[in-house]
Amino acid sequence: MTMPFSRLGAKKRAEGLAADRLPPGQYIPRGWPVLHYGPVPKFDESSWDFRVFGATDGGERRWDWAGFGELPRTEIRADFHCVTKFSLLDNTWTGVATGVLLELAPPASGVTSVMVWAEYGYSANMALADFGGDLSMLVTHRDGALLTPEHGFPLRLVVPHLYAWKGPKWVRGVEYLTADRRGFWEQRGYHNLADPWREQRYSYQESPGDGPVG
């Protein structure tokens, strides 16, 4: 795990911000920290694909790298909040809005949640409404620059209103669920909902109804 940043000067850079710009407990780092579990995967354009499966309305959809590159692209400006307490403000993200996927591969009636799958079997769960939020996006670029492999190239999910572990790097697919179930970090003690403004960091903070039953 590499951490190319320092808290030095973070307090000064946060001065002058409106009180509601940073969620509780967050700070502004120098640069964009690199944090992930496991090795960085190697990208193979010839074998890469992206799938939408599970409880779909109309069957599974799949795109290869060339096909995914033909999907409509857009830009959003949004913040990024990591559970390790750093925040990056006013990022310009470029990619495919999750709403595009929901239109091209609609969920069946009764779908309430999704599981986002990434390389090595990594997963993150969230409500369908969070996945399909106005600012949720499968991104390829940040601030005009192609993502580096360490930051998720070729594709990562960004859900700005949730802690960033809900937006996996190296995304390969989305599974539609009719019942919520916990993803990788949620099974290992992280909060099921991950709202940074409510500091929903760990599962012991959950209230009844915040997580799957059983």
Cα(184)–Cα(190) distance, rounded to whole angstroms?
A: 9
135 lies in a domain?
Answer: yes
Q: Hey, what are 144's tokens? A: 């005009």
Q: Label residue 12 exposed, middle or buried (CB < 10 Å: 0-12, 13-18, 19+).
A: exposed
Domain count of the fold of the chain? 1
pLDDT over threshold 50, residue 2: no
In a domain, 213, yes or no: no
In a domain, 21, yes or no: no
Please say if the pLDDT value at position 18 is more than 50.
yes
**Predicted confidence band at 37 (pLDDT cuts at 50, 70, 90)?**
confident
* pLDDT tens profile 96-134: 999 999 999 999 999 999 999 999 999 999 999 999 999
What are 69-95's pLDDT values in tens digits? 999 999 999 999 999 999 999 999 999
Domain membership of residue 172 (yes or no) is yes
Asked if residue 9 belongs to a domain, the reply is: no
Token couple for 145: 């620059």
Q: Which domain holds residue 90?
A: 47-205
What span, in angstroms and rounded, lies between the C-alpha atoms of 156 and 154? 7
d(CA 12, CA 9): 5
pLDDT for 6 equals: 42
**What is the predicted pLDDT for the residue at 16?**
67
**pLDDT tens, residue by residue, 168-200:** 999 999 999 999 999 999 999 999 999 999 999
pLDDT of 80 = 96
Q: How far apart are CA 185 and CA 114, in angstroms?
A: 15
Confidence bin at 21 (pLDDT 50/70/90): confident
Of 103, 120, 113, 122, the closest CA to residue 176 belongs to 113
Instruction: Give me the pLDDT at residue 15, please.
Output: 65
Which CATH number fits the domain that encloses residue 193?
3.90.420.10
- Report the percentage of the chain scoring pLDDT > 90: 85
- At 120 the pLDDT is 93
More confident position, 7 or 62 = 62
| Length of the chain measured in residues | 214
pLDDT tens column, 132-146: 999 999 999 999 999
- What's the pLDDT score for residue 153? 97
What value does the mean pLDDT of the chain take?
A: 91
Q: Three-state SS string across 87-156, please?
A: EEEEEEEEEEEHHHHHHHCCECCCCCEEEEEEHHHCEEEEEHHHHCCCCCEEEEEECCEECCHHHCCCCE
- Residue 78: inside a domain, yes or no? yes
On whether residue 34 sits in a domain, the answer given is: no
Is residue 145 one of the residues assigned to a domain?
A: yes
Are residues 138 and 152 in contact, defined by beta-carbon separation less than 8 angstroms?
A: no
